[in-house]
């Protein structure tokens, strides 16, 4: 028995299915529709597809139809690398939409750099495109942790909060957020007095939050994705911790609201304007873009778009805009992405430059709250 | 002090679930010798189908009972069509259960999607205070259900005739058959029991932990570790192992560092496998294993 118990600790999985080729402009995708980030990758894929459909309905880009080839990377870094190689070598794509998984995004940098194929990544952490002069072919579309944290900490400063607690997931997103917060907090006169971690599959964060409750923190920041942040929010209310709770932009998602229920009321989220478009002033440049996106998405998929659908849509739109300027030459497409100015997307307004591959502008980030189960702009 | 109690309660709660999953392992193992690696997925299917029945309009308790029965039946079907054709070969059976787990997760994505799902608490979400700690009513449900089931199962195996038959099948299937015991019927019965235990574990924790298609993997691993700690095949051992694991995890994240939490379970797993493979309480009257 002892032997068989040891034996069964080892298991293996296989994958892969072939793709096909055609004479259109091909854009590759690495979005994960299974694995632990499937709930991000799936809407991301739908958003990207929507952008392609819109372009093709208008007769394509420069008269050429866009063919979108997405390979499911299963939230797995190894799969991401092999999928990238296949897209570049077999399908000969001119650009790639990256995976939602930060880890997957990191793992393919080397491959795309060497093959010289532009990629617009959907990963959440900044390191993916840093330093920009060494990663000329890699761009980021979603809001970055530093960008949203700057908005968050400005709000803390305004409220006179100087001591905070940090609870982050041990995922790529969580640890990157932790690193950036630790690096920049002092700039705002803020000190992290206690830091705790939880695993992505954990069922209960009460132990960590109990510790935080016993500290002298004036606010708590939870940096995580998926159900983990919803469980943490519920536990936070159960432990009856009174001070403000800030979550990351990953909580700007209606799935989070569904999971967190009434616990979410009153939380603060620095994020995009996607869910508060009706509150935006008429002169907001993103207003019409977001409205159109929400309308088209609901028409096609019969439900409200998740934040990640907006990310996929933006990433694809950026590549398509660059193809519109650069044609089908990969180098020219790359240059065109780097030259984009005030490109209005769903998640943000993008301006890239040789030193800035993040693109998203701070003015696109608003501080949200939740009231009666709905996102509102925090007052 | 109140911090310690809070951690203890959290640990016991999570540990009860590990214990229930562990008991599910025990039930199948005691009859077939197979370690069912789809055990955690039984919990996942149980929780998600209870949520589905509830969403379809049935009262919560009806939804829960339906889901438990459904998973029980599903487990017997798995035994009949995935395990029995392999024969009594233990290692092959174990590998087959890994495959079954993958199939269950895939089916769950197709049926329920990849998003996590919430489930309403059995008796309200309002926590109450006790000696400076906050406790959810659902936590009491988990304690009560786990304790009751653990005791019942122990009595069943030790004191009742069918329980003894089940153990006889595990100790020597050939001799048991010679004594007129229908081995296949007992195997099916063990899967039925185990499926229902798994479903109950998944359902009672669902209001606290949220469930998605891959929630079963983590639960399954922790349940397995609970069994190893307590002694594989011993339901009381699985319960004790689960509680111990849960409390150790909570205490280590509370007093040392939350980063150590998962390391604890795997260190314990390796430690027990190499130093004391019989676990704390040892096999249940098993010789030569």
Judge whether residue B167 has pLDDT over 90.
Answer: no
Query: Is B116's CB within 8 Å of A230's CB?
Result: yes
Please compute the mean of the pLDDT values over residues B74-82 and round it to a whole number.
Answer: 94
Measured between CA atoms, the residue of chain A closest to residue B233 is A1
* Triad A92, A356, A326: Cα angle to 5°: 35
Tell which of A206, A237, A241, A250 to mutate to test the B interface (max B CBs under 10 Å). Answer: A206
Ordered by start, the domain boundaries in chain B are 2-121+144-275
Q: Across the interface, which of A1, A198, A239 has its CB nearest the CB of B134? A: A239
Say whether residue B6 is in contact with chain A using an 8 A CB cutoff.
Answer: yes
* Ranges for all domains in chain A classified under CATH 3.40.50.2300: 25-143+289-362, 145-271
The whole-number pLDDT of residue A4 equals 52
3-state secondary structure of A156: helix
Judge whether residue A341 has pLDDT over 80.
Answer: yes
Residues in chain B: 289
Q: What residues of A are in contact with residue B96 (Cβ under 8 Å)?
A: none
Answer for the pair B86, B92: CB distance below 8 angstroms, yes or no: yes
Judge whether residue B281 has pLDDT over 80.
Answer: no
Residue A168's beta-bridge partner residues?
A197, A223
pLDDT digits (tens, 9 = 90+) for A86-143: 999 999 999 999 999 888 899 999 999 999 999 999 987 788 888 888 899 999 999 9
Indicate the class that CATH gives domain A145-271: alpha beta
pLDDT digits (tens, 9 = 90+) for B237-278: 889 999 999 999 989 888 887 777 778 888 888 888 888 877
pLDDT digits (tens, 9 = 90+) for B188-242: 999 999 999 999 999 999 998 889 888 899 899 999 999 999 888 788 888 999 9
Chain-centre distance of CA A31, in angstroms? 12
The whole-number pLDDT of residue A96 equals 95
Answer for the pair B84, B28: CB distance below 8 angstroms, yes or no: no
Reported ipTM: the value is 0.76
Judge residue B170's burial from the number of C-beta atoms within 10 Å of its C-beta, 0-12 exposed, 13-18 middle, 19 or more buried: buried
Judge whether residue A204 has pLDDT over 90.
Answer: no
Query: Is B35's CB within 8 Å of A201's CB?
Result: no
The whole-number pLDDT of residue B197 equals 92
Tell which of A210, A235, A240, A253 to mutate to test the B interface (max B CBs under 10 Å). Answer: A210
Tokens linked to B181 = 């015991």
Q: Across the interface, which of A8, A197, A204 has its CB nearest the CB of B94? A: A8
Judge residue A300's burial from the number of C-beta atoms within 10 Å of its C-beta, 0-12 exposed, 13-18 middle, 19 or more buried: middle
Options 1.10.3470, 1.10.3720, 2.30.30, 3.30.420; CATH for B2-121+144-275 is 1.10.3470
The whole-number pLDDT of residue A3 equals 52
Query: Is A210's CB within 8 Å of B254's CB?
Result: yes
Q: How far is B189 from chain A (nearest CA, A)?
A: 22
Please compute the mean of the pLDDT values over residues B92-116 and round it to a whole number.
Answer: 91
Judge whether residue B71 has pLDDT over 90.
Answer: yes
**Regarding the domain with residue range A25-143+289-362, which homologous superfamily does it belong to in the CATH classification?**
Response regulator (3.40.50.2300)
Confidence of residue A365 (pLDDT cuts 50, 70, 90): very high
Query: Is B95's CB within 8 Å of A8's CB?
Result: yes
pLDDT digits (tens, 9 = 90+) for A270-306: 989 999 998 999 889 999 999 999 999 999 999 889 8
Q: How far is B58 from chain A (nearest CA, A)?
A: 20
**Average pLDDT, whole number, for chain B?**
87
Phi/psi at A29 (nearest 5 deg)? -140, 145
Residue with more model confidence, A6 or B109? B109
Give me the helices (H) in chain A, please.
Answer: 2-7, 38-57, 77-89, 102-107, 109-115, 145-159, 172-184, 206-213, 226-238, 254-260, 287-301, 307-326, 330-338
Shortest CA distance to A147 belongs to which of A181, A187, A197? A181
CB contact set of A294 (below 8 Å; sequence gap of 6+)? A274, A277, A304, A305
């Amino acid at each position: 028995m002892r032997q068989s118990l040891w034996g069964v600790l080892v298991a293996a999985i296989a994958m892969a299915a072939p793709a096909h080729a055609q004479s259109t402009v091909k854009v590759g995708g690495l979005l994960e529709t299974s694995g632990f980030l499937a709930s991000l990758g799936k809407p991301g894929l739908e958003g990207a597809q929507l952008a392609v459909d819109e372009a093709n309905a208008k007769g394509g880009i420069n008269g050429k139809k866009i063919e979108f080839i997405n390979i499911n990377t299963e939230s797995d870094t190894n799969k991401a690398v092999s999928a990238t190689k296949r897209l570049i070598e077999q399908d000969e794509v001119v650009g790639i939409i990256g995976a939602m998984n930060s880890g997957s995004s990191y793992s393919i940098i080397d491959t795309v750099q060497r093959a010289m194929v532009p990629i617009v990544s959907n990963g959440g952490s900044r390191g993916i495109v840093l330093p920009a002069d060494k990663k000329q072919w890699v761009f980021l579309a979603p809001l970055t942790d530093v960008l949203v944290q700057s908005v968050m900490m400005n709000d803390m400063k305004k409220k006179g909060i100087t001591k905070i607690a940090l609870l982050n997931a041990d995922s790529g997103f969580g640890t990157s957020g932790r690193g950036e917060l630790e690096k920049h907090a002092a700039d705002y006169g803020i000190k992290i007095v206690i830091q705790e971690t939880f695993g992505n599959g954990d069922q209960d964060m009460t132990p960590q939050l109990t510790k935080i409750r016993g500290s002298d923190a004036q606010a708590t920041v939870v940096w995580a994705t998926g159900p983990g942040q919803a469980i943490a929010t519920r536990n936070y209310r159960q432990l009856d911790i009174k001070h403000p709770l800030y979550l990351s932009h990953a909580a700007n998602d209606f799935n989070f609201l569904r999971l967190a229920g009434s616990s979410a009321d009153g939380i603060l989220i620095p994020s995009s304007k996607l869910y508060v478009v009706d509150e935006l002033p008429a002169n907001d440049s993103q207003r019409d873009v977001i409205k159109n996106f929400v309308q088209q998405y609901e028409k096609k998929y019969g439900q409200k778009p998740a934040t990640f659908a907006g990310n996929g849509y933006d990433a694809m739109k950026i590549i398509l805009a660059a193809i519109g300027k650069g044609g089908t030459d990969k180098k020219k497409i790359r240059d065109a992405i780097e030259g984009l100015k005030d490109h209005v997307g769903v998640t943000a307004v993008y301006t890239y430059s040789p030193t800035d591959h993040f693109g998203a502008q701070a003015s696109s980030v608003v501080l949200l709250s939740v009231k009666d189960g709905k996102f509102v702009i925090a007052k | 002090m109140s911090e310690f109690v809070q951690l203890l309660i959290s640990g016991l709660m999570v540990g009860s679930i590990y214990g229930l999953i562990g008991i599910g392992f025990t039930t199948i193992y005691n009859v077939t010798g197979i370690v069912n690696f789809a055990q955690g997925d039984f919990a996942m299917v149980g929780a998600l189908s209870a949520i589905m029945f509830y969403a379809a309009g049935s009262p919560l308790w009806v939804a829960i009972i339906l889901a438990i029965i459904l998973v029980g039946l599903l487990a017997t079907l798995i035994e009949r069509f995935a395990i029995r054709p392999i024969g009594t070969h233990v290692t092959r059976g174990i590998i087959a259960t890994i495959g079954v787990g993958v199939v269950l997760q895939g089916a769950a994505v197709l049926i329920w999607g990849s998003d996590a799902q919430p489930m309403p608490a059995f008796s309200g979400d309002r926590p109450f205070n006790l000696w400076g700690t906050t406790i959810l009513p659902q936590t009491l449900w988990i304690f009560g259900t786990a304790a009751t089931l653990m005791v019942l199962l122990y009595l069943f195996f030790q004191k009742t005739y069918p329980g003894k038959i089940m153990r006889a099948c595990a100790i020597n299937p050939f001799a048991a058959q010679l004594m007129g015991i229908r081995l296949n019927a007992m195997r099916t019965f063990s899967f039925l029991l185990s499926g229902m235990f798994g479903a109950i574990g998944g359902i009672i924790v669902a209001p606290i932990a949220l469930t998605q298609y891959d929630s079963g993997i983590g639960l399954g691993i922790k349940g397995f570790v609970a069994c190893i700690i307590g002694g594989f095949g011993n339901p009381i051992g699985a319960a004790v192992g689960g509680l111990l694991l849960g409390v150790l995890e909570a205490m280590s994240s509370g007093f040392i560092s939350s980063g150590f939490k998962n390391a604890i379970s795997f260190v314990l797993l390796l430690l027990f496998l190499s130093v004391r493979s019989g676990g704390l309480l040892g096999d249940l009257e098993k010789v030569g294993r």
